[in-house]
Amino acid sequence: MQYTTYATGGSRIASVFAAYIAGDIPSAIPIKMSTEEECILLLLLHRQQQRRKRRDRRWYVRPLNTTRDRDGEFVSLVLPMRSLDEERHFQYFRMSAPKFDDLLSRVIRYLPDSHQNHRNPIGASQRLAVTLRYLATCIGLQALSASYKMGTSTVSGIVEEMCSAIWDALQGEFMAFPSRGQWQDMAEEFWRQWQFPLCVGAIDGKHVRLRAPARSGSDYYNYKGFFSIALMAAADANYRFIYVDVGAYGRESDGGVLGRSAFGSRLAEGNLNLPAPAVLPGTTTPSPNFFLGDEAFPLQVNLMRPYPGSNLQDRKRIYNYRQARARRVVENAFGILAARFRIFGRPIDCQPEKAVKIVKACVALHNFLASTERARYMPASFVDTTADTGEVQPGEWRQHVEGDRNMVDGPRCSVGRARPSQRAALVREQLADYFLSDAGVFPHQYNVLRLGTDQ
């Protein structure tokens, strides 16, 4: 219905509408209107009333926030901290001032220009500071908005907008899908650092807790008894994420999330462009390249999982120990992520769509800092290490996340207990034999037999 023509074309409705707006009701009453004209008039009056409500708010900027440029936290703390206290700057943002500037130069081109239309636009550096502070701490939006002297809805919008820009700016360089040559380099790094041959990455899944989404039913309600989204990821030997899949329903298992993802489909079909099968180091035995997963994943040619059961032969226990030792990289990657970005220390208080953007931004920042500021972001003491005896020494990140209930493991998947193919089982058997040979033995692997554990 083209009601706008009635309001602008000099019709009877236009005159009645003008009389109502001017408050001259008696002059409008004698005019008789059809039912259609009455409906159009009511719609116009309703829209006019909504415009008045928007105009009639108490203030454009809350009076307390008008001094943001003089005594807000960005001016009073962040700017002085850049030159006066480098250590505090890192603790505050999880990055140094030069790295903050580097990130800002990458992100700024992905930000919309809508803020320039505001009376007192908030600069990109301050918006980035607000977002990084929100991700690095457990602080709520209201407390953050009060310290930076902004409206709560303003801060919420800034965080969502900036998280999208961070992912767009960093994804191409620090989360790009590996080429065949890069897969080969990852496999060599796993062998050098973790003595596990032909492994290109370790896979695991976590549940990221969030508030109950409106009208979501039981889709996001997981087996732990709370609402969450699934975070599936693969990590390389240096604790960097190779791939992430964020946003699946919390009720799904790790194996189910992997199977439904594009990555999982390509993995099962052998379309990840992995290097051609190669021989195990020091032998003539050929083997494909593969990922490592835990019991939640199915055994596939390109995805190894531990031997199931408890009363296992020694060779199987040694294999499980060697796989658990190498797969520890993805556990550490998740732990470092949660320790550095404390937004994961509590349930994320937003809708799933926004939570996905927050998680993806944190993952991209993790890879960005692990690649460009590794010594400070995750020093040697921050990650798990192995002593000369072969015993694992817990990293400092575990102290930071102790007591957290947000990022938890997903449920086991029934498909993981399905009968594997003969070829996949043969690959695992060859690896188990290889770890007992002179070429593949790890000096401390037999300690696991004396300790009575596979971990």
367, containing H or E segment = helix 352-372
> What digits encode the pLDDT tens for the residues 363-390?
999 999 999 999 999 999 999 987 767 6
Instruction: Find the range with the poorest average confidence among 8-17, 289-298, 344-353, 393-402.
Output: 8-17
Over residues 119-143, the mean pLDDT reads 91
Q: Tokens 């021989």 correspond to what residue?
A: 279
pTM over 0.75: yes
Q: Please name which of 419, 425, 313, 283 lies closest in space to residue 321, comparing C-alpha atoms.
A: 313
* CB distance 62 to 35 below 8 Å: no
The sign of the CA dihedral 24, 27, 29, 32 is negative
> What digits encode the pLDDT tens for the residues 280-290?
999 999 999 99
Over residues 295-312, the mean pLDDT reads 92
Average pLDDT, the chain: 85
> What digits encode the pLDDT tens for the residues 20-66?
555 554 545 455 666 666 677 677 777 776 666 555 556 667 777 78
Read off the DSSP letter of residue 78: I
Long-range CB pairs of 271-276 (<8 Å, 24+ gap) are 272/183, 272/302, 273/179, 273/180, 273/183, 274/180, 274/183, 274/200, 274/302, 275/180, 275/183, 275/184, 275/187, 275/200
Q: Please name which of 55, 77, 50, 72 lies closest in space to residue 120, comparing C-alpha atoms.
A: 72
Residue 2 above 50 pLDDT?
no
Over residues 219-242, the mean pLDDT reads 87
pLDDT of residue 444: 83
Tokens standing for residue 276: 């051609």
Domain boundaries, the chain: 4-55, 63-174, 180-451
Q: Please name which of 205, 255, 280 lies closest in space to residue 435, comparing C-alpha atoms.
A: 280
* CB distance 266 to 396 below 8 Å: no
- Strands (DSSP E) contained in 236-372 are 241-249, 278-279, 286-287, 290-292, 303-304
Distance, in Å, from the CA atom of 134 to the CA atom of 157, rounded to the nearest integer, reads 12
Q: How confident is the model at residue 114 (pLDDT cuts 50, 70, 90)?
A: low
Q: Please name which of 366, 348, 401 lies closest in space to residue 229, comparing C-alpha atoms.
A: 348
Q: Tokens 């070829």 correspond to what residue?
A: 423
- Burial label for 227, CB within 10 Å (0-12, 13-18, 19+), is buried
Instruction: Find the range with the poorest average confidence among 74-88, 171-185, 220-234.
Output: 220-234
What distance lies between CA 445 and its chain's CA centroid? 35
Read off the DSSP letter of residue 34: -
